Structure 1
């Protein structure tokens, strides 16, 4: 594989995982506009504990032993590499776009930089600390985890979790949602299911205001957190010939994670890929070994079709802690999955939120 170069655009969970896997055998360049990785799952708990910011923001400098990290924003994908916004050209045999997704503040960084991310997170933490009534709109993984973290850290606050779904996580067998409902009840969280907020003022950041629910019900909230889902950052790929998107904005692929027939050495990976998976770290863990094998085959001169195409989770597992000690998880055991409760959820994720794992991956203590 001498002389074969792999350029990975995007230093999120997908990008660093793939770069680390390929580093021992390929000439890898990881590109990102910031100088540090942001472990976003821990950014939820950071709203209740700002000291976590120093642990969840981790420099890239020790990630790769053979390869290199280049700081810069990718401007364009060419057939033979990547052009950065400052005019630099990074040539590649294989290019991977892992630009991830965006989310409402304060749970993900933006191109404005890490200083702003820290400032927004601390401001949200300050506003939360002084709030008496908290409303969270959206009961997906971020919204549900946030409700649990706030109720655990501030048991005196009135916390409302609102979803337009008739029940929690209806795609799983009922035992999973029931475990979460029991935990929310024990934590004192007011769960509103089947309720569509009629006057949500912002999809991008927290605010204070009165929420209007069906039937004239209102909630006067000192702080409202919109948590209605991630949006793929696919702009870089959409500028490439014949790339098409799924209804959710993620890019379609040929089965081997290639989004463009005219660019056969271009791959998409992670949240930006219409893989059939949810936008979660668990999905990346399934995609990464497959893409690693495909890229190694390409670098060895083998056709992509010699490898198995990617197949998403039949039923995606989910780890959903509600603070460090509570929560529920759905594990990929059997056809319908297996729901587990506090002990395993805390051990697998809730206690540490994978912070130690990612600090080790990036060569930090």
Structure 2
């Protein structure tokens, strides 16, 4: 049975990341959708590292939210308090939709995420960092996770003569539930690129200079090894955006700070409040998983609204990752593929295009009159 007797129910989506835009877009024709995000444009973060070394990408990776919805509306604002379905925005506006989707995501160190709500300021920040990178001969990346590895690959592909060092307290690269064979292949390619790995000993302290800024860097590991560079980048540390949660929603977070959701992505203890993406315990923090959750949740809400179809449960995804090392290198681990996915396939899947066209395709609403 269709809900509300033909009246379009209201849906508020807080957060315009990969999950939020997917959910908002797919509900636009059956609900009165409001998308709330503090930025004026969606940033295709998957290409942010490429834009650091090739700033011409900056003209393509910012996609205005005004081009997302045909029927719904976008508010450039942010939630400051959410209790149940009652939403208070920084502007003072209050919303209480029939359905609330929390998709506020996380922040990460620049340049993996730029963190500037104004597109012009974000582009200027990236261009300044590019110029500082160009001037540097030695580059230090602190963190040997996916961001550190991918950034090393981007820098060496664009500037083969630069000396790039990755430092991490871990004894190996790429933490997580991945096969050792994948780590070995990535290390092999990094070695061929000339990337130096300094693993297994913590830094006595982080560099005193601001990250992504040209400055003399000289630090020492606990093992006594000195590392020098002309610029450094922080490639670790995720901060969840859940500080606006109040009452029982705040209490629904687990010990790590993630919102607990059921198999239908409903927040624990709430009937019409859902959460997707990085802020939930549904899966690992990956853009692809956030998009999958947004699509599944939109399908489930469509079924409730239209009375057609049945809700589908979200299933935690198996270990998978694609790590480009520049446009033509990299390796990955994908379900259904035996062994390591090699550089040629990674370049075809992600390395060359960085999946930009797929994201661009949903921002197809006509410009407002």
TM-score where L is the length of structure 1: 0.89
**Range with bigger deviation, 149-158 or 228-237:** 228-237
Runs of 4+ in 1 over 6 A off after TM superposition: none
Counterpart in the other structure of 1:244 = 252
Shift in alpha-carbon separation, 1:161–1:286, aligned structure 2, 3 A: same
Counterpart in the other structure of 1:333 = 336
* Distance (whole Å) between structure 1 residues aligned to residue 354 and residue 246 of structure 2: 33
Counterpart in the other structure of 1:132 = 137
- Per-residue CA distance 1:212-262 (angstroms, 9 max, x = gap): 12321011111111111322111123555453333432222234323341x
Shift in alpha-carbon separation, 1:301–1:260, aligned structure 2, 3 A: farther
Residue 107 in 1 paired to residue 98 in 2? no
* Distance (whole Å) between structure 2 residues aligned to residue 291 and residue 176 of structure 1: 32
Shift in alpha-carbon separation, 1:13–1:119, aligned structure 2, 3 A: same
Name which of 263, 280, 294 aligns with 1:273. 280
Counterpart in the other structure of 1:283 = 289
Query: What secondary structure sits across from 2:113 in the alignment?
Result: coil
Residue 311 in 1 paired to residue 315 in 2? yes
Structure 2 runs not aligned, ≥5 long: none
Greater RCO, 1 or 2 (C-alpha within 8 Å, sep 6+) = 2
Query: What secondary structure sits across from 2:257 in the alignment?
Result: coil
2:140–2:232 Cα contact (<8 Å) kept? yes
Counterpart in the other structure of 2:18 = 13
**Range with bigger deviation, 66-75 or 344-353:** 66-75
> When the two structures are aligned, how many residues end up with a matched partner?
357
Query: What secondary structure sits across from 2:81 in the alignment?
Result: strand
Counterpart in the other structure of 2:88 = 83
Counterpart in the other structure of 2:206 = 200
Counterpart in the other structure of 1:350 = 351
Query: What secondary structure sits across from 2:66 in the alignment?
Result: coil
TM-score where L is the length of structure 2: 0.89
* Distance (whole Å) between structure 2 residues aligned to residue 169 and residue 320 of structure 1: 10
Structure 1 runs not aligned, ≥5 long: none
Aligned-CA RMSD value:
2.5
Could you tell me how far 1:348 is from its partner in structure 2?
0.8
2:70–2:365 Cα contact (<8 Å) kept? no
